[in-house]
């Protein structure tokens, strides 16, 4: 990928200036939407926007007595830069999904195979006939999460996962972190390798994504002053340690959360999928399997969701959000991508607000100039 002018990318410069101004405004004031943010946007192989705003570290703590954030002295704050890594939270699910489709392409994993065929010791999933496709499409019927962070040890955590039964009939959509945790166990069982190794060897290393890895990540943007009762664990101010309590309890490597990355690295990931699974000399998936990944209803990727994709939704746009304030959208119809990494949980979590994410995606959608040779029809999967 290369940096270039909006015009070279086939994007309107006025709209892109508005995108940058809006992201800067999100980090301004005493109670900003996010303490810090980085936005990268482009079309084709051109990065037309790469900007940082606000702070990677702004607060020392959350004062529960006054209900206010405790600001660090200005000299101790850390500004956000375009190279700042962020806790990706649920964007991790995209990488787990790609790792799974890689195994489907290789023939070592069947998309409609039953989980019990690979994990017979996960008796509840086996008895209910949960399939790999259902894990990838959040239609297994499993509840959103389990309190693995309250378990005494890994043995107890594993027993909870093995015994967890669907709470609704398999085939019904119900978003759940447990889907990706079970998928992680499937991938590790069939390959004999850990998930972090699969993602490194199969995705980030061949693509040159050197800033993308599971933690710890000492230079990352800070997240939450994590304490009960608002959180599920007492860990204090987090920086470079995974935010998600279950991923933390599992040692920082989990199918649903745990990765840290930069916006620039994620731009490479987007470009690879937009180009049919290849980037330069590297190939992580064949075009048919990218289509499988991104054909409705999507495998791990959310498709055409206006609540965070804005006007990019509607023609096969794909992506995901993360609870820490992260989002990624790629649109194959216009060959565009948008990454917004932010710290909306610094210094304390709050109810999610995806309005700014949707607004940013809408601004990019309106920036697309016709007739620049990037538009193409979205291919349909043969699977």
Stated pTM of the model? 0.96
Q: How far is CA 292 from CA 130, 278, 331, in A?
A: 19, 15, 15
CB atoms within 10 A of CB 58: 25
User: Among 108, 104, 110, 102, which residue's Cα sits nearest to residue 283?
Assistant: 102
The confidence score (pLDDT) of residue 382 equals 37
Q: What number is the average pLDDT over the span 107-130?
A: 98
SS3 46: strand
User: Among 327, 341, 359, which residue's Cα sits nearest to residue 35?
Assistant: 341
Contacts of 40 (CB under 8 A, 6+ apart): 47, 49, 50, 82, 263, 264, 266, 267, 337, 338, 339
The enclosing H or E element of 49 equals strand 46-57
User: In this structure, what token pair is assigned to residue 107?
Assistant: 């023939």
Residue 233 has pLDDT above 50, yes or no: yes
**pLDDT confidence tier of residue 103, bands split at 50, 70 and 90:** very high
Q: What number is the average pLDDT over the span 317-322?
A: 98
The enclosing H or E element of 350 equals none
> Which residues face 59 on adjacent strands?
71
The pLDDT tens digits of the residues spanning 270-304 come to: 999 999 999 999 999 999 999 999 999 999 999 99
The pLDDT tens digits of the residues spanning 180-203 come to: 999 999 999 999 999 999 999 999
Question: Taking all residues of the chain, what is their mean pLDDT, rounded to a whole number?
Answer: 96
Residue 27 has pLDDT above 80, yes or no: yes
SS3 126: helix
**pLDDT confidence tier of residue 50, bands split at 50, 70 and 90:** very high
The confidence score (pLDDT) of residue 142 equals 98
Task: For the chain, report the end-to-end CA distance as a whole number of angstroms.
Answer: 30
Least confidently predicted of 13-27, 273-287, 308-322, 368-382 = 368-382
**pLDDT confidence tier of residue 256, bands split at 50, 70 and 90:** very high
Residue 164 DSSP label:
P
CA atoms within 13 Å, Cβ hemisphere of 374: 24
Residues of the chain with pLDDT > 70, as a percent, come to: 97
DSSP 171-220: TS----HHHHHHHHHHHHHHHSS-HHHHHIIIIITTTT-TT-EES--TTS
Residue 379 has pLDDT above 80, yes or no: no
User: In this structure, what token pair is assigned to residue 291?
Assistant: 């289509």
d(CA 44, CA 10): 9
Handedness of CA 360, 313, 204, 1 (dihedral sign): negative
Provide the CA 271 distance to its chain's centre, in angstroms. 15
Residue 378 has pLDDT above 80, yes or no: no
CB 109 within 8 A of CB 198: no
User: Tokens 């609704």 appear where?
Assistant: 168
Provide the CA 373 distance to its chain's centre, in angstroms. 29
User: Among 34, 54, 36, 99, which residue's Cα sits nearest to residue 259?
Assistant: 99
> Which residues face 337 on adjacent strands?
42, 330
Q: Which of the pair, 370 or 205, is modelled with greater confidence?
A: 205
Contacts of 370 (CB under 8 A, 6+ apart): none
The confidence score (pLDDT) of residue 373 equals 42
Residue 380 has pLDDT above 70, yes or no: no
């Amino acid at each position: 990928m290369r940096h270039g002018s909006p015009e070279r990318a086939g994007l309107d410069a006025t709209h892109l200036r508005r995108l940058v101004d809006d992201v800067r405004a999100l980090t301004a004031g005493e109670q900003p939407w996010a303490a810090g943010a980085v936005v990268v946007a482009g079309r084709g192989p051109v990065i037309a926007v790469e900007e940082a705003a606000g702070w990677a570290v702004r607060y020392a703590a959350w004062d529960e007595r006054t209900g206010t954030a405790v600001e660090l002295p200005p000299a101790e704050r850390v500004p956000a830069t375009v190279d700042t890594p962020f806790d990706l939270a649920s964007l991790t699910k995209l990488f787990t999904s790609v790792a799974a489709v890689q195994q489907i392409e290789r023939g070592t994993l069947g998309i409609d195979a039953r989980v019990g065929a690979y994990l017979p010791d996960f008796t509840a999933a086996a008895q209910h006939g949960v399939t790999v496709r259902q894990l990838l499409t959040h239609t297994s019927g499993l509840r959103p999460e389990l309190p693995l962070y309250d378990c005494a040890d890994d043995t107890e955590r594993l027993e909870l996962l093995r015994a967890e039964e669907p709470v609704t009939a398999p085939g019904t959509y119900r978003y759940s972190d447990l889907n990706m945790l079970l998928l992680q166990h499937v991938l590790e069982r069939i390959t004999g390798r850990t998930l972090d190794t699969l993602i490194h060897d199969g995705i980030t290393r061949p693509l040159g994504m050197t800033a993308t890895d599971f933690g710890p990540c000492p230079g990352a943007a800070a997240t939450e002053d994590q304490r009960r009762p608002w959180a599920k664990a007492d860990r204090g101010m987090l920086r470079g340690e995974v935010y998600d309590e279950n991923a933390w309890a599992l040692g920082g490597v989990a199918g649903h959360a745990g990765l840290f990355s930069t916006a620039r690295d994620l731009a490479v990931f987007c470009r690879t999928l937009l180009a049919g699974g290849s980037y330069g000399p590297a190939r992580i998936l064949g075009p048919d399997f990218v289509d499988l990944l991104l054909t409705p209803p999507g495998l791990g990727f959310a498709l055409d969701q206006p609540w965070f994709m804005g006007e990019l939704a509607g023609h096969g746009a794909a992506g995901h959000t993360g609870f820490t304030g992260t989002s990624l959208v790629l649109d194959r119809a216009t060959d565009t991508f948008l990454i917004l990494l932010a710290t909306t949980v610094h210094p304390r979590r709050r109810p999610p607000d995806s309005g700014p994410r949707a607004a940013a995606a809408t601004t990019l959608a309106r920036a697309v100039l016709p007739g620049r040779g990037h538009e193409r029809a979205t291919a349909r999967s043969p699977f």
